[in-house]
Structure 1
Amino acid sequence: MTNALARLLEIAPAPSEPRQKDWGDVERRLGVRLPADYKELIQVYGGSNWDDYLYVLEPDCPNKHYDLITWARHRTEDLEDLWEVERKPAELEAEGTQVVALWATTDNGECLYWLLRPGLEPDRWTVMVNEARGDRWEHFPVSCTQFLASALDGELRSGILSSLFPLAAHEFRRLRAV
């Protein structure tokens, strides 16, 4: 268990039933390997809503609106179109660098991606946050689970995410079928 996941377990106890995934199948469908901390996060919490604001996406989520694979496919297409009219963030200027597989979103429409750099294994990917209807991006040199734990405990602050996040008393819900 990562330190970040241990911190999350202190913030919100894990649901009693773990989520099992065929990660080989998920990664084949995405066309990319995923970080181990994300897989562990999903196994423990599943697709989830944190502080009634941030949604962690899950492959084959019971709530189809938060399916990682569907979101990743659509956002990849959207970003390809976006780069034709907007300048890429500085973190994406280096050859072979890209954002991949949106892993979280918010109720306002902000998107959280992994930043993939050539030669870096998935466990070393960091987080990029994109504002909902604009061209502002932020880079956080932490894993997705570290980002979530640090955002919830106030250690990490974003200029893009809502100033009302996190809540003083944390709320967690596992996403279920609708």
Structure 2
Amino acid sequence: MAALAEIQTLLGEPRFNWSDPAPWIELEQELGIEFPADFREIVDAYGSIEINGQLYLEHPAGHLLHNLGKTIRDDLDLWREEDMAEFLPSPVGANPGELMPVATATTGEAVFLCVPDTPSSPWRVVVQEFDSPAWTLYEMTFSEWLLAYLEGRDVTLCSRNLAPDGPFWEFLP
């Protein structure tokens, strides 16, 4: 995908390069969802990482501390609580129009993929600011959103002050 090449240009060469689909298949069967190819490709390339000291991405083959499946299950439970659901534009889950939590930030944001209403509809990104009731829908794929973030554009998370010398990443411990 062209977006991964652009992301690599900004973020640097990935060192995880996962190729076994088994963890994804298991997680997708459990959740009843098939993650978008661009999201899987990025996470397979980089693994469980922290970008710019801010944004956490996790892989389903990661260990218990940083495992995408565990994080999603925990986040689904959190966002299904009655007092939390009001902070999102739609319910969390794997059904069309629902939001699947896929990333978090040290600055208090949660990143969701909006499950398409139809198989031919595009995936979109919703970012919720945990310290307020504000959320923003981005009419872009995950890779487009991540690329915008890495370029320093305002996609709710802003990296300019956290990465003044350019984007960087490190594996999560």
Q: TM-score range by the shorter chain?
A: 0.7 to 0.9
Structure 1 residue 158 corresponds to structure 2 residue 159: no
Q: Secondary structure at the match of 1:79?
A: helix
Per-residue CA deviations over 1:33-60 (Å, capped at 9, x if unaligned) read 1111111112211111111111112113
* TM-score, with structure 2 as normaliser: 0.82
In the alignment, the residues of structure 2 paired with residue 127 and residue 149 of structure 1 have an alpha-carbon distance, to the nearest angstrom, of 13
Aligned to 1:18: 17
2: distance between equivalents of 1:41 and 1:142?
Answer: 15
C-alpha distance in 2 between matches for 1:13 and 1:160: 20
How many Å apart are 1:114 and its aligned residue? 0.3
Amino acid at match of 2:171: R
Aligned position for 2:132: 134
**Residues 93-127 of structure 1 deviation map (CA, whole Å, 9 limit, x = unaligned):** 9x952101x22111123110101132135x82110
Q: Does the CA contact (< 8 Å) of 2:52 and 2:159 recur in 1? A: no
- Letter of the aligned partner of 1:169 in structure 2? G
**For structure 1, which runs of at least 5 residues remain unmatched after alignment?**
none
Deviation at 1:87, TM superposition (A): 5.9
TM-score, normalization by structure 1: 0.80
Q: How far apart are the structure 2 equivalents of 1:96 and 1:144?
A: 17
RMSD value, Cα: 2.6
Bigger RCO of structures 1 and 2 (CA < 8 A, at least 6 apart): 1
Q: Distance in 2 between matches of 1:32 and 1:85?
A: 20
Q: Does the 8 A contact of 1:50 with 1:173 survive in 2?
A: yes
Shift of 1:12: 2.5
Contact 2:16 2:47 in 1 (8 A): no
How far has the Cα of 1:29 moved from its partner? 2.4
* Residues 119 and 53 of structure 1, relative CA distance in 2, 3 Å threshold: same
**Which residue matches 1:172?**
169
Report the identity percentage: 21
What amino acid does structure 2 have at the position aligned with 1:130? Q
Residue identity opposite 1:68 in structure 2? L
Aligned to 1:99: 99
- Cα gap change, 1:163 to 1:96, in 2 (>3 Å): same
Counterpart AA for 2:108: G
* Structure 1 residues 22-41: aligned runs within 5 Å: 22=22, 23-41=24-42
Ranges of 4+ aligned residues in structure 1 off by more than 6 Å:
none
Q: Paired residue for 2:47?
A: 46
SS in 2 for 1:124: coil
Q: SS at 2:5's partner residue? A: helix
Count of matched residue pairs: 168
Moved more, 21-30 or 76-85: 76-85
Q: Is contact 1:131-1:161 (8 Å) kept?
A: no
